[in-house]
Amino acid sequence: MALKNINPTTTNSWKELTNHFKDIENINIKDLSKDENRKEDFSIQFDDLLVDFSKNRITKKTIQLLVALAKEVGLKDAIESQFSGEKINVTEDRAVMHTALRSTSDVPVLVEGKNIKPQIQTALRKIKSFSNKVISGKWKGYTGKSITDIVNIGIGGSDLGPDMIVESLQFYKNQLTTHFVSNIDGDHVSEIIKKLNPETTLFVIVSKTFTTQETITNAETLKNWFLKSATIFDIPKHFVAVSSNLEAVDNFGIDKGNVFPMWDWVGGRFSLWSAVGLSISLSVGYDNYKALLEGAEEMDIHFRNEDFDKNIPVILALISIWYNNFYLAETEAVLPYSQYLKKLPDYLQQAIMESNGKGVDRNGHKVDYQTGTIVWGSTGTNMQHAFMQLVHQGTKLIPADFIGYKQSLYGLTDHHKKLMANYYGQMEALAFGKSKEEVHLELKFSGDEDKINQLLPFKVFEGNRPSNAILFDKLTPRSLGKLVAMYEHKIYTQGILWNIYSFDQFGVELGKELAKKLLKTQ
């Protein structure tokens, strides 16, 4: 089953969508919301997750036509191709199997004729036993003391995923302190060194290629610092690696038993489900790490089997295409109403923009339509006091995902009520705005008519600004796994619809090469 490489703009559905757009371009969310069934018709409940997409400039026909487009470009087969281990990363001649990493089914997944499930299970067992030893204190450093600090050394996908998950699951964290070193900026590693004791620190070097300049430089610096107090014979007690480049790992001096595998069928930005997530398992324990994977698997099953009109990642992808390609919105905001998720926007920037930031289609032709969206965001309510002014009253259309939780983790209900009132309040303000009449009424008692007329235009909120409410019962490892997998599948769906390859990243290479050349001339 090869991917259908169809320019979406040449399909019948696209033509129909173009006509439909002309018909409803000026439609207003406020008017649409008068339909009392709208919320029910435009929301999907899946276990502990409710996605309400009723506050969008869409009608039932919009969804029908977008779903027809997904069918016309062969999304169903493309999803099957991914799950079944086909080499859908054509430009790198690789399968894309992060979903296999979290699959608990016994059904074999063949990559180049070989079932990859057994090696995944072996790696999981190794992660489990290693995490248990370190967390329980049985794993000793070179002076016989237990480990107190973990340092994850990696960048890009070998940093952002584990860092974001560890931050998001802080509530579930154990006694170990976890640090993340990524930047080549020596001040980053220096600041972290200040906090470490070599006797009780475990270094986890994460690099699929084991050639990444930042990671290797930071790892060497940390090794040299460690060797000021210890000897090379102590390295096996303090350094482990996650990589697919065994030779380079060996050259670095890592003990063979301390190597966790990475495979070429897992992309860096989709790798937190592999041993790249070792720091997660060390920080929150293997059971929580496993629950994260299980949550992701639940979303995988939903994505693979559900009809497109009830399929959360597909619907979110289609709505995003509607704004990106018809309304020509350039950016999307991700706004989590949980302080724990403060690193989610950064993580999603790599996942989304490195995947779909492509200007050449799967036939090798330059595209003449918009592809990858620019994604950005921050946590509520802080961002309400920062950039939301522009989202409410600026000149740009910025569709936004509002991520929220029905319950807080510590149970300060007064705080949580206020947090959620803001969560809903922002979406309502964006969608329904505030009319001239409402502003006038509000100002009526506060001044003379001239003053009111002068102020009026500044106080009006046009509204009609779209948002999706993504609401979970509670932030748990399982629900977090579901959330991240939801965005992963949204990315793939969009890549298929835009007829681009989502799993390579040649665009990051040139800058790296030039930096190397410049370094030699210095």
Ligand X SMILES: O=P(O)(O)OC[C@H]1O[C@H](O)[C@H](O)[C@@H](O)[C@@H]1O
Q: Which of the residues are catalytic?
A: 354, 385, 512
As measured in angstroms, the least distance from the Cβ of 321 to ligand X is 24
Q: How many helices (H) and strands (E) does the chain have?
A: 23, 13
Binding segment for ligand X among 172-180, 208-216, 252-260, 452-460 (CB under 6 A)? 208-216
Pairing, β 201-206 against β 239-243:
parallel
Is residue 505 within the footprint of ligand X (CB under 6 A)?
Answer: yes
Query: Measured from the CB atom, is 14 or 239 closer to ligand X?
Result: 239
As measured in angstroms, the least distance from the Cβ of 213 to ligand X is 9
In this structure, the number of other CB atoms found within 10 A of the CB of residue 485 comes to 27
Write each residue from 118 to 137 as x if it is in contact with ligand X (CB under 6 A), else as -, in one continuous string: --------------------
Binding segment for ligand X among 41-49, 150-158, 246-254, 439-447 (CB under 6 A)? 150-158
Query: Measured from the CB atom, is 78 or 155 closer to ligand X?
Result: 155
Nearest to 308 by CA among 65, 472, 480, 470: 65
Is residue 508 within the footprint of ligand X (CB under 6 A)?
Answer: yes
CA distance 500 to 441: 51
CA distance 352 to 502: 9
By the 8 A CB rule, do 62 and 325 touch?
Answer: no
Task: Give residues 386-445 in contact with ligand X (rule: CB under 6 A).
Answer: none
CA distance 349 to 465: 22
Q: If binding means CB under 6 A, how many residues of this protein chain bind ligand X?
A: 14
ω into residue 148 within 30 of 0, thus cis? no
Is residue 381 within the footprint of ligand X (CB under 6 A)?
Answer: no
**What Rg do the C-alpha atoms of the chain give, in angstroms?**
25
Is residue 208 within the footprint of ligand X (CB under 6 A)?
Answer: yes
Among 170, 209, 393, 422, binds ligand X (CB under 6 A): 209
Query: Measured from the CB atom, is 262 or 483 closer to ligand X?
Result: 262
Write each residue from 349 to 368 as x if it is in contact with ligand X (CB under 6 A), else as -, in one continuous string: -----x--------------
Binding segment for ligand X among 206-214, 279-287, 289-297, 406-414 (CB under 6 A)? 206-214
CA distance 5 to 362: 6
Query: Measured from the CB atom, is 403 or 491 closer to ligand X?
Result: 491
Cα angle value 450/453/457 (rounded, 5°): 155
Nearest to 271 by CA among 43, 4, 484, 451: 484
Query: For every residue of 290-342, which 3-state class applies, written as one string?
Result: HHHHHHHHHHHHHHHHCCHHHCHHHHHHHHHHHHHHHCCCCEEEEEECCHHHC
Amino acid (1-letter code) at residue 511: G
Query: Measured from the CB atom, is 374 or 452 closer to ligand X?
Result: 374
As measured in angstroms, the least distance from the Cβ of 224 to ligand X is 20
CA distance 4 to 26: 33
SS3 151: strand
Task: Give strand pairing partners of 140.
Answer: 146
Q: In Å, what is the CA distance from 5 to each residue of 8, 119, 240, 353, 359? A: 9, 33, 42, 21, 15
Among 56, 152, 201, 207, binds ligand X (CB under 6 A): 207
CA distance 125 to 120: 9
Among 8, 74, 85, 156, binds ligand X (CB under 6 A): 156
Task: Give residues 247-276 in contact with ligand X (rule: CB under 6 A).
Answer: 268-269
As measured in angstroms, the least distance from the Cβ of 241 to ligand X is 11
Burial of 71 (0-12, 13-18, 19+ CB in 10 A): middle
Is residue 158 within the footprint of ligand X (CB under 6 A)?
Answer: yes
Among 49, 63, 78, 155, binds ligand X (CB under 6 A): 155
Nearest to 272 by CA among 283, 500, 376: 283
Query: Measured from the CB atom, is 232 or 508 closer to ligand X?
Result: 508
Is residue 212 within the footprint of ligand X (CB under 6 A)?
Answer: yes
As measured in angstroms, the least distance from the Cβ of 155 to ligand X is 5
Is residue 89 within the footprint of ligand X (CB under 6 A)?
Answer: no
Query: Measured from the CB atom, is 209 or 221 closer to ligand X?
Result: 209
Query: Measured from the CB atom, is 94 or 237 closer to ligand X?
Result: 94
The DSSP letter of residue 492 is H
As measured in angstroms, the least distance from the Cβ of 206 to ligand X is 6
Is residue 152 within the footprint of ligand X (CB under 6 A)?
Answer: no
By the 8 A CB rule, do 99 and 83 touch?
Answer: yes
Query: Measured from the CB atom, is 269 or 490 closer to ligand X?
Result: 269
Contact positions vs ligand X (CB under 6 A):
155-158, 207-209, 212, 215, 268-269, 354, 505, 508
